[in-house]
Every structure is written in C-alpha cells, then in structure tokens.
Amino acid sequence: MRRIFIHGTLPPELKASVAAIGVFDGVHRGHQRVIARAVAEALRLKVPSVVVTFDPHPCAILRPLKAWPYIMTLEHRLRLIEALGVDVCVVLRFNRRFSSWLPKTFVTKFLHGWLHTRAVIIGRDFHFGRARAGTVDFLCAMGKTLGFAVEQIDILRATGKDIKSTAIKALITAGDLAGVRRCLHRPFSFLGAIEAGDARGRTLGYPTANFREENVVNLPAGIYLVRASWAGCAHNGLCYIGRRPTFKGKDAPIVRELHVLDYHGQLYGREICVEFLKKLRDDKVFADKETLIAQIARDITQARRFFASRGHRDCCI
C-alpha cells in the first residue's frame, strides 16, 4: 500500500480513484465494511482504491481542552488498513487551516481536483468541512455535478448497540475484551515501539520490554495473557499495564511492560503488536520484593497452562 502524507501542498495528483473517507480509529467492523466496499468498487472500475484518513483526530484540534486518546496509534491504523487490500492511504494533516476549508473547497479541490474520484464511500454519520457543515446530501449533489457517485454504509450493531469508536473506547476502559472483540472482529491489540526501561524486571528474574508511551486508551491495570508478534513471528507472553505501585506509588505514569515466555533476545527498538487474550489478575501493591517474585512465578505458571490448553505455540511465518 502506498502511503501519502499531506501536510499542506498537495503532491502530484492521482488520475482516478474510489475513495473511502473517515478517521477510522480502531478500524472496527463498520470501518472494515466501508473500506471493503471501496476496494470492491475500485476493482470493478479498475482504478486505485484510496482511504483518506486524518491525523490528528479532528476533535483533538477543534476541542483542545478535552483529552482525546486513540484506540490505536497511526502506524497501527495504517497497517490494518493495508491488510484490507487498499492501494493508497492518504493521511491528511488536520490543523486549524484545514478545518477552515468550506465543504465545497474540500470536494472541488481535493476529492475532484486531486483524487479524481469516481466514487466516494462513507459511513452513515459522515460530516465534513468548516463547522462540519458538509452533509451527505451536499456531497451527493456535488457528486452529480462533478461526476462521481456517493455511497453510504449503514452503521453496524453489536449486542444491540451501534459500533462506534467512542463506544469501543468505553469497552476498553471497562476491560470488556469480549465486547471489544465483537466490535473489531479481532482481539484488542496494541502496536508500539520498545524502549529502554529501568531493567527492574531483569533484577526480579523476569525481564520485561517497556513500550514507549502513546496517546491511546488503556485497559484497566493488571496482568494480561497476550500474543506478541514481530518480524513475522508470534510468541506467548504476559503484559502488565499499570503504575507499578509497589515501586513507584499511585501517581506514577501508566506503563506497558511485556514479558515473552522463553525468549531471551534483544527487543529494544522493535515495533511489537500485542493481542490481549485474557486478563489474569488485577494490579496490586506487594509488601516486598520477594512476595512480588512469588506472585510473578504463579502468573507464569498460569500463563503456561492457558497457552497449553489453547494450543497457542510460538510460530513464524
């Protein structure tokens, strides 16, 4: 998949396209349906399929006083979009200047003038342009004038509720891994880079890899059973999410620490995708180092039993 990052001036234009437009944070089942429809239509018309997404999230610019964590990092989003068979992903840098574009400007300058889109695929709640004034009806009218079709995809539902990014964030913060999986059609996962930590895990006898801090929604603090993937290989492991209260106190920043079972290699600098399969236990404060080590040993034993029962083995593609 070709990636195009637009921070101001448009690069050389595309000759034709079918475009799916949205933030697509989470790439949930509804997003997948929108993107799949764009890919199918592009194949029918024999033109490139294009996903247009935004970074940062428009709400992060338009409502700067409100914290706006994501379901996943931009890199994670792009990898999942690529896996859906998309030819080109355009990442529009959303800022105050871009937010001031009138709906007509966005359509004539970008969709028609640069993408030369033959069809636009959008979700049912799509709005665009200054003050979200661009409606689906307006886009359809512009499409008739400029020669492109517009197709809306209905919002999907799971367990009686609309599948939306805001709802998925609530499920994540509640620790409802089953509910998140129903909305995503895959396990909840996190893609991040490993950076140097304080090596405390190694002194405890169970080395961990520390993920770089990212502006994403966190699961509740605790120990999770996970599958960790990098370089075409998948490994069983445990992931800790929390503030390390035994050593750091309740006001310390939240960290993510990965322990890969039976792995002794170097992970610094790697980007690792972690799929969260099950919560093993809550986080808690331990009286001393020895008590913590004993608990970690029990956690490792339970993890091995879980993966053995499920048939999860380390594998490489």
Give me 139's structure tokens: 């886009």
* Residue of 266 and 37 predicted with greater confidence: 37
Q: Is pLDDT above 90 for 264?
A: no
Closest by CA to 280, choosing from 309, 301, 302, 295, is: 302
160-173 pLDDT, tens digit per residue, is 888 999 999 999 99
Distance CA 294, CA 314 (A): 25
Question: In this structure, are residues 152 and 127 in contact, taking their beta carbons and an 8 Å threshold?
Answer: no
Collapsed DSSP state (helix, strand, coil) of residue 27: coil
Question: In this structure, are residues 75 and 193 in contact, taking their beta carbons and an 8 Å threshold?
Answer: no
The pairing of beta strand 209-211 with beta strand 222-230: unpaired
Q: Which amino acid is at 182?
A: R
49-62 pLDDT, tens digit per residue, is 999 999 988 888 87
Based on the residue annotation, tell me whether 290 is a catalytic residue of this protein. no
Give me 201's structure tokens: 């895990």
Distance CA 161, CA 183 (A): 10
Closest by CA to 219, choosing from 138, 296, 144, 281, is: 281
CATH architecture assignment, domain 2-161:
3-Layer(aba) Sandwich (3.40)
What are phi and psi for residue 162, nearest 5 degrees?
-65, 140
Q: What's the pLDDT score for residue 52?
A: 96
What is the residue extent of each domain of the chain? 2-161, 188-316
Q: What is the mean pLDDT of residues 234-249?
A: 87
103-113 pLDDT, tens digit per residue, is 999 999 999 99
| Alpha helices in the chain, H assignment, sequence order | 29-45, 58-62, 74-83, 96-99, 103-105, 136-146, 165-173, 177-184, 200-203, 289-310
Q: What's the pLDDT score for residue 95?
A: 85
Q: What's the pLDDT score for residue 201?
A: 56
Collapsed DSSP state (helix, strand, coil) of residue 151: strand
* Residue of 114 and 311 predicted with greater confidence: 114
**On the CB side of 279, how many CA atoms lie within 13 Å of its CA?**
14
Q: At 204, is the pLDDT very low, low, confident or very high (cuts 50, 70, 90)?
A: low
- C-alpha angle 37-42-48 in degrees, rounded to nearest 5: 125
DSSP state for residue 63 in the 8-state scheme: S
Can you give the length of the chain in residues? Answer: 317
For 21, residues 6+ apart whose C-beta sits below 8 A from its C-beta are: 51, 52, 120, 121, 122, 126, 128
Q: At 317, is the pLDDT very low, low, confident or very high (cuts 50, 70, 90)?
A: low
Tokens 């690529």 — which residue? Answer: 82
Collapsed DSSP state (helix, strand, coil) of residue 130: helix
Q: pTM of the prediction?
A: 0.92
- Catalytic hit among 257, 271, 275, 290: 257
The mean pLDDT of the chain is 90
98-148 pLDDT, tens digit per residue, is 888 899 999 999 999 999 999 999 998 888 888 788 889 999 999 999 999
**CATH number for the segment(s) 188-316:** 2.40.30.30
Q: At 203, is the pLDDT very low, low, confident or very high (cuts 50, 70, 90)?
A: low
Closest by CA to 31, choosing from 173, 183, 193, is: 183
